[in-house]
Amino acid sequence: MLSLCRNDTVIDTLRSVFHANIVAVPESRIEPLVIVAVSGDTTSFRGAIIPLLTKPTSFTKPQVLQSTMPVISGTKTREVNLSVGLEILGNFLKGFGVPSIDLSASFSGATKVSFSFNGVIRFFVDINELGEHVKGSTLDRQNPAGSIFFQHDPPFQCYILDSAITSRDFSISVEKSSKADFKVDVPAISQIVTKANANLSVSSASTLSVTFKGDKQLGFAFSCVRASFDGTGKFTSLEPGGVIPNLEAVAEAMGPNRQVAHTPDQVLLTLDPAMITADFSSFVEETPAP
């Protein structure tokens, strides 16, 4: 397991502010209203929610909203070793349709690199509205894809994605190198990407960075809430990720005339910063930076 750096502006914002799980390979399938199943260390991407519901169903899709994320767009991550950076870069490129390629020669002499996503857009549904839309719906116990939430021992936990954080382009920048005159070999990278026949353009704003731009938004992080059911499969709750304290006790401790409220939180699937792999079945970590 290869852990992501702590105290990183981008990672901390994604996890702490948006309660988002970061994926290693950006994908178009990462979008609101898809389901992830979790049991112990096993995590499985299950797909859209509607096919898992008993028919007929009253469920209709809640409105999917979108917002830009200037706090993330263009912000560099902390620097990582080149070997780790090339591994992350390779996974990102796979998401944009480029097969496994070796770009180490184009970064020969680099020792530390950072990443940034540009034009970041968050697609999301309101959790309260999602609750209104699943009210009265039932997860189909007879559907083999849904039976794992009931018949598996122990049953898988069901998580519904309420948001996807996406981008269509990202950049890798060299922060440190062993050569005073180091330059990223952008023409070589462009030639390799072109041969891969991917819908991806390559450009550079400086000799120390390269930007890859695709033709569609791909999700590189997502947030989710846990769904609970009764014995029949009927939805009973959409639960936050943290423990909710007894609000009356908290209010009493804070003194008279103090109001306490709780906003639903999403669930972080990893305790420590980590990148979830493409099939959501394992995690990629790098030793935490001090």
Residue 3's pLDDT band, with cuts at 50, 70 and 90, is low
Higher pLDDT among residues 150 and 254, named by residue = 150
Position 231, amino acid: G
Rounded to whole angstroms, the Cα distance separating 264 from 221 reads: 19
Total number of residues shown for the chain? 290
**Using one digit for the tens of pLDDT, what is the confidence trace for 50-74?**
999 999 988 889 999 999 999 899 9
Q: How confident is the model at residue 280 (pLDDT cuts 50, 70, 90)?
A: very low
Q: Tell me how far apart the alpha carbons of residues 275 and 221 are, in angstroms, rounded to a whole number.
A: 9
Residue 41 has pLDDT above 90, yes or no: no
Output the pTM of the full model.
0.82
CA dihedral (240, 35, 18, 63) positive or negative: negative
Average pLDDT over the chain, rounded to an integer: 82
N- to C-terminal Cα distance for the chain?
A: 17
Pick the more confident residue, 40 or 136.
Answer: 136
User: pLDDT per residue over 187-230, tens digit each?
Assistant: 999 998 888 867 889 999 899 999 999 988 999 999 988 898 88
Query: Can you give the pLDDT at residue 288?
Result: 40
Q: What is the pLDDT of residue 147?
A: 86
Q: What is the spatial distance between Cα 8 and Cα 27, in angstroms, rounded to a whole number? A: 23
- Phi and psi at 110, nearest 5°, equal -75, 145
CA dist., res. 281 & res. 43, Å (int):
5
Residue range 139-155: average pLDDT? 85
Structure tokens at 139: 């997860």
% residues pLDDT > 70 (the chain): 82
Tell how far CA 146 is from the center of its chain: 23
User: Which sign does the torsion angle of CA 167, 8, 278, 153 carry?
Assistant: negative
Helix, strand or coil for residue 13?
helix
Grade residue 5 by pLDDT with cuts at 50, 70 and 90: low
Task: List CB contacts of 229: < 8 A, sequence separation 6 or more.
Answer: 138, 139, 149, 150, 158, 235, 236
Strand partners, 161: 224
Predicted confidence band of residue 38 (pLDDT cuts 50, 70, 90): confident
Q: In whole angstroms, give the CA distance from residue 263 to residue 244.
A: 10
Q: What is the pLDDT of residues 16-26, one digit of tens each?
A: 888 888 888 88
Q: What is the pLDDT of residues 109-145, one digit of tens each?
A: 999 999 999 999 999 999 889 999 988 899 998 888 8
How many Å apart are CA 98 and CA 102, to the nearest integer?
Answer: 11
pLDDT value at position 178? 93
Query: What are the residues whose beta carbons fall under 8 Å from the beta carbon of 104, sequence distance 6 or more?
Result: 82, 86
Rounded Cα distance between 81 and 75, Å, is: 18
pLDDT band, very low/low/confident/very high, at 279 (cuts 50, 70, 90) = low
Whole-number pLDDT of residue 260 = 39
pLDDT digit string (tens) for 242-275?
A: 433 333 444 454 455 444 333 446 777 776 767 6
Span 76-119, pLDDT tens digits: 998 999 999 999 899 889 888 888 888 999 999 999 999 999 99
Strand (E) or helix (H) holding 114: strand 110-118
User: Which pLDDT belongs to residue 277?
Assistant: 63
The type of residue at 129 is: E
